[in-house]
Amino acid sequence: MDRIRIIGGQPLNGVIPISGAKNAALPLTIASLLSSETLTLKNVPNLADVNLLTRILRNHGVDLSVDGKRAGSNGYLGETFHLTARDIVDTTAPYDMVSRMRASFWVLGPLLGRCGEAKVSLPGGCAIGTRPVDLHLMGLEALGADIRIDNGYVLAKAPGGLKGARVIFPKVSVGATHNVLMAAVLAKGETVLENAAREPEIGDLATCLNKMGARIEGIGTSTLHIQGVTNLEGATHTVLPDRIETGTFAMAVAATGGEVLLKDTSIDLLESAINILIEAGVEITPEEGGIRVRQMNGGPSPVSVETQPFPGFPTDLQAQLMALMTRAEGTSTIRETIFENRFMHVQELARLGADIQLNGELATIRGRTQLKGAEVMATDLRASVSLVIAGLVAEGETTISRVYHLDRGFERLEEKLRNCGASIERLAG
Ligand code: EPZ
C-alpha cells in the first residue's frame, strides 16, 4: 500500500488550482440515469470515488466516454464526461459496490423515478458514524414508493409512477435531499421538499437538472418546489469548484505560513470557513477567479467552532481545522455535531505531539504545540488530509499510511503542494 512521506517546516508559496467538487460530481454523474439523452459534465475531478461510481453506473446501462487530458501540458482542466443512459438495463445496485461508496445509494431515487423500481443494497458500516438512510426512504415513501428491506437490500417499487408530495425532512441531510430530489423531478405533479439541505452541491445538481428540463424552484434555499415532468433531456453542465479542497489548502497555508493563490474557486462557496480563518488572523483576499491566502505573522489565533449544515462550518473541514489549531497560541474548541465518530484523527494527531482532549462531541485543542514527525495512519478522507497538514508543519519526517483514503477525494494532492514548495512524496508499496 502506498504511503506519503512529508518533511515538515516549509512554507507554501505559489498557486494551487482547485478541482471540480467531488461531492457535486457524484450526484451529477448519477443524474445521467434520469435521461435517455447525453448528459455532458465538464470539470469532473479524476478521483477514485468518481471512477468507482462510473463502474456502478455502467452496470445500470450508462455509457460513458471521457475526454480532456489531465496530465502535463493541459494543466488541471477537469475531465469531460459524456454519459448516456439510453436504456436502463439493470435496476439493481449490488452490495459489493454500494458498500464501497455510500453516495452510490443515491441511484435509488433516479432509478425509481425513471423505471418505477429499484433494488439497491443498504450501504452498511461507515468509519465516521452510523449514517442511516431512513430519511431517504421516508422521502421516497412520501412520493408513493412501496419500500421493503430484504436481505440487506432496499426493494422499492412504484408501478404507477411516483406522485408529487410534501416532504418535511426532520433533519437536514445532503444525501436524502439529492436522492429524493432526483426522484421527484419525474414524479407526477408538485413535490415540495422542506428543510432540504442547502449545500452548494445540491444547488449544482438542481441547476443541472433544470438544464435537463426539470422544473425546480427555490435553489439555494431550504424549500425546493419541483413540478414533475415526463422525461428529461440531455444537457451540458460544469461541475462547481470543490469548496472542501479550497478550505483544506487555505488551512494548510494558514498552518505553514506563506502566500498562495487558490485558483478557479470562490469565497462564496465557503463563507463560514473563510470567516473562521479571518477570525484566526489569516489574510484572505478574494481575487478574480480565486482566493489569495496569506499568513505571515506567526501562528493563527485560537477559535471556537461548531460544525453545522451549510451555510454553517462544514464537518468536512473539521479535521483540517483541528490540525491548524495545534498551531494557535491558546485554547481552541471544535464541536462536531453532524457525525458522532468523526474524531479518529485525534489519536493520530496526538502521535505527532498534539494536545487534544476529547469529551463527547467536543474537542479541546491546546496550543501552540511544535508537532514532531511520526508514522501515522489515515482513517478517512478528511482525517487523512488533516494529517498531511500536520505533517507539513511537523519537525522532521512524517509518513502517512493508508493513503487510498486521500485518493478518494483529493486530486493530485502531492503535486499541488510540491509546486508550492512542500517536501512531500508518495512511496509506492
Ligand atoms: C454528505 O454525506 C457528504 N457526502 C459528506 O462528505 C458530508 O460530510 C455530509 O454530507 C455532511 O455535509 C457526499 O456528498 C458524497 P448527510 P451524507 O445525509 O449525504 C444523518 C466527504 O468526506 N442522517 O447530510 O451521507 C447522518 O447520520 C463526505 O466528502 C440520518 O439520520 O450526509 C448525519 O448525522 C463524508 N438519516 C446527518 O444526518 C438519513 O437518512 C447528515 O448526513 C441520512 C442522514
| Structural domains of the chain ordered from first start | 3-19+241-427 (3.65.10.10), 22-238 (3.65.10.10)
The atom number, within ligand 1, closest to the CA of 138 reads 40
Alpha-carbon Rg for the chain, nearest whole angstrom, is: 21
User: What integer is the mean pLDDT of 14-27?
Assistant: 97
> Whole-structure pTM over 0.75, yes or no?
yes
Average pLDDT over residues 98-103: 93
Counting from 1 in the atom list of ligand 1, the atom nearest the Cα of 199 is 12
Ligand 1 within 6 A of 11 CB? no
pLDDT of res. 76:
60
Q: Give CA separation, 94 vs 54, 105, 172, 413, in Å.
A: 14, 10, 27, 31
SS3 114: helix
* Cβ contacts of 133 within 8 Å, gap of 6 or more: 105, 122, 123, 154, 175, 176
Number of the ligand 1 atom closest to the C-alpha atom of 26: 15
- Across the chain, mean pLDDT equals 95
198-210, pLDDT tens digit by residue? 999 999 999 999 9
Instruction: Judge whether residue 233 has pLDDT over 60.
Output: yes
What is the C-alpha separation between 53 and 102, in angstroms, rounded? 10
Q: CB of 171 closer than 6 A to ligand 1?
A: yes
- If we measure between CA atoms, which residue out of 117, 120, 107 comes closest to residue 150? 120
d(CA 320, ligand 1 centre) in Å? 18
Band the pLDDT of 73: cuts 50, 70, 90.
Answer: very low
CA of 174 to the centre of ligand 1 (A): 6
Quick check: CB of 136 below 6 Å from ligand 1? yes
What's the longest Cα–Cα distance across the chain? 65
**What's the rounded mean pLDDT across residues 211-237?**
98
- Residues near 100 by Cβ (< 8 Å), separated by ≥ 6? 52
| Residue 71 confidence (pLDDT) | 43
Pocket test for ligand 1, best of 106, 338, 405 (most atoms within 8 A of CB): 338
From the list 115, 126, 208, 420, the catalytic residue is 126
Give 317's pLDDT tier (boundaries 50, 70, 90): very high
Q: In terms of pLDDT, which residue wins out, 288 or 61?
A: 61
Cβ 26 under 6 angstroms from ligand 1: yes
420 is catalytic: no
Does the pLDDT of residue 371 top 90, yes or no? yes
Statement: residue 68 has pLDDT above 70: no
- pLDDT given for residue 5 in this prediction: 98
Judged against a pLDDT cut of 50, whether residue 43 lies above it is answered with yes
Grid cell of 343 as nine digits: 474524531
pLDDT tens digits for 259-311? 999 999 999 999 999 999 999 999 999 998 899 999 987 789 999 999 999 99
Which pairing describes strands 190-194 and 223-227: parallel, antiparallel, or unpaired? antiparallel
Cβ of 173 below 6 Å from ligand 1: yes
Mean pLDDT on 10-20: 96
What is residue 130's three-state secondary structure? coil
Nearest C-alpha to atom 9 of ligand 1 is from which residue?
Answer: 174
Q: What residue's CA is closest to ligand 1, atom 15?
A: 23
CA–CA gap between residue 188 and residue 162 (Å, rounded)? 6
Q: Whose CA is nearest to atom 8 of ligand 1?
A: 316
How far is ligand 1, taken at its centre, from the CA of residue 165, in Å?
23
